[in-house]
Amino acid sequence: MTKKKNKKNTRPSSAAAPAIAIQSGETIESASRPIVAAHTIKGVDDSGNFYNGHEELATAQLRHQDEFYKANRLFWSSGGYNGKTDDEAMVGDGGADADGVDGLAFLDRYLSDNHDAKRKFDHAVDLGAGAGRVTKLILLKRYSEVRLVEGDEGWSKRSRVYLGRKRSERCSFSNQRLDNITAEDVRNWGEPADLMWVQWTLQYLIDVDFVDCLRILSGGLRKGSGILIVKENRPYGVAREDRFQMDVPSTVGGNERYDLTRNDSHHRFLFHKAGLKVNFMERGEETNTYALSVSV
């Protein structure tokens, strides 16, 4: 599992933006919002099916779980988005550097607005690391050491080349898939993480694995100060922002892989089930980025 930029919609959203502007296409929204009821989470897939509530979605995901994950493993082992560079293969276009700048600025804003004298900057974890783009452009600029966790063996090996010798000396590498990660896997990483970062990766998990994964990962955060950053696509443009969009591997929709674009309410519903709370959130032109911690 690794990164992907949303290519489904091309028109900017017409929805009203929150009041506090950060930069073009990026705004701060309230961290605290009510958790929606499961029956209100609705959406469509690219084969024309409508899901009238979260139970229908979860049932369909479990029914096709093996098929979905098999298709995704093949997609990434075959080169992902097959760009001219490792970055393009990860995100699907040439926007990797700009995304790195945005991600680092988000992290700095969060840390500045939530100063904690006890916070450490020793260990970070890049989840669904792919070639190591987030590690290179964000995490190594603020943290002493980074563990890259990547499910595809080829990309995990490639990340050492992408990062280069000097950066790799500050890194450790784990070839682990997030859909079956265990608490023992996380304990074996050693020191608690001061930061975990997962981006354009949870969209490839079915909802039950999304929740289990985040619940297990949160057990590896440093108690009291560890944070989990999640950045994922959201429906935008011509898409209904109150509906999820699911791509499934089929001849009907023309996709080679499974992925699910969730809206804000859907994400918060799953964060809550995983025992996490939203401390800080920004809405970008195509994405939502969250800073999470363990609910007390």
Identify which of 270, 183, 274, 195 has the alpha carbon closest to the alpha carbon of residue 232. 270
pLDDT tens digits, one per residue of 47-66 = 899 999 999 999 999 999 99
Contacts of residues 79-83 at CB distance under 8 Å and 24 or more positions apart, as own/partner, are 80/2, 80/4, 80/130, 80/155, 81/4
Statement: residue 93 has pLDDT above 80: no
Backbone angles phi, psi at 79, to 5 degrees: 115, 5
> According to the model, what pLDDT value does residue 20 have?
34
> According to the model, what pLDDT value does residue 8 have?
43
Query: How far, in Å, are 118, 156, 203, 240, 265 from residue 259 at the CA level?
Result: 38, 21, 5, 17, 18
In b/e form, how buried is each residue of 53-90, taking b as 16+ CB within 10 angstroms? ebebbbebbeebbeebbebbbebbeeebbebeebbbbb
Percent of the chain with pLDDT over 90: 73
Statement: residue 76 has pLDDT above 90: no
Statement: residue 272 has pLDDT above 70: yes
> According to the model, what pLDDT value does residue 80 have?
72
pLDDT tens digits, one per residue of 205-258 = 999 999 999 999 999 999 999 999 999 999 988 889 999 999 999 766 567 899
Distance CA 76, CA 57 (A): 24
- Apex CA 227: angle with CA 176 and CA 179, to 5°? 25
Confidence label for 19 from pLDDT (cuts 50, 70 and 90): very low
Distance CA 207, CA 38 (A): 12
Distance CA 108, CA 4 (A): 23
Q: Mean of the pLDDT values across residues 264-268? A: 97
Chain-centroid distance of CA 293 in Å reads 15
Among 82-96, 158-172, 248-262, top mean pLDDT goes to 158-172
Q: In what order do the strands lie in the sheet with 243-247?
A: 50-51, 42-45, 243-247, 259-261
Dig out the tokens for 147 from the structure.
């563990």
pLDDT tens digits, one per residue of 102-120 = 999 999 999 998 878 778 9
Confidence label for 294 from pLDDT (cuts 50, 70 and 90): very high
Q: Which residue has the higher pLDDT, 87 or 105?
A: 105
Identify which of 271, 272, 266, 260 has the alpha carbon closest to the alpha carbon of residue 233. 260
Confidence label for 26 from pLDDT (cuts 50, 70 and 90): low
> According to the model, what pLDDT value does residue 21 have?
35
User: Is-above-0.85 flag for pTM?
Assistant: yes
Q: Which residue has the higher pLDDT, 29 or 16?
A: 29
Q: Mean of the pLDDT values across residues 122-143? A: 97
Which is it for strands 123-127 and 42-45: parallel, antiparallel or unpaired?
unpaired
> According to the model, what pLDDT value does residue 77 have?
87
Statement: residue 90 has pLDDT above 70: no
Distance CA 218, CA 237 (A): 33
294 and 192 Cβ atoms separated by less than 8 Å: no
Mean per-residue pLDDT over the chain, rounded: 87
Task: For the chain, state the CA radius of gyration.
Answer: 18
> According to the model, what pLDDT value does residue 255 have?
73
Confidence label for 196 from pLDDT (cuts 50, 70 and 90): very high
